[in-house]
Amino acid sequence: MTEVTPLAAADAVRLAELAEAETRYRLRFAREMYAAGRADGWREGYADAGRDMARRWDEIARPAAHGRPPHAVLERRRWGPGGREHFADPRPGDFPGTEVRAA
């Protein structure tokens, strides 16, 4: 059986403290890197979304801004035949429901 000397015990404590310090450093580094990556990803994603919205807005708005299609056609597409006032009216092909009979 080997005997633990005071010097060996002191070395073990020093090595354990060194390992704990290394673990704290690595955890702090991981948190900082995660936060930096998340911030970069958020900025890049937000910029991508802005570019996508600008491109799509141009595709959507340009025809309407240049008189094609006319406003009446856009309203008909939006609300259907009869306009806003008849939007909720039954339409051909709608489910007519089932008849409830008294027993």
In SS3 terms, 88-99 reads as: CCCCCCCCCCCC
Long-range contacts of range 40-47, CB-CB < 8 Å, 24 or more positions apart? none
DSSP state of 27: H
Q: Where are the domains of the chain?
A: 7-56
Residue range 81-102, pLDDT digits in tens: 888 898 888 888 888 888 766 6
Residue range 56-76, pLDDT digits in tens: 988 888 877 776 778 888 888
What is the reported pTM? 0.43
**Residue 15 pLDDT greater than 90, yes or no:** yes
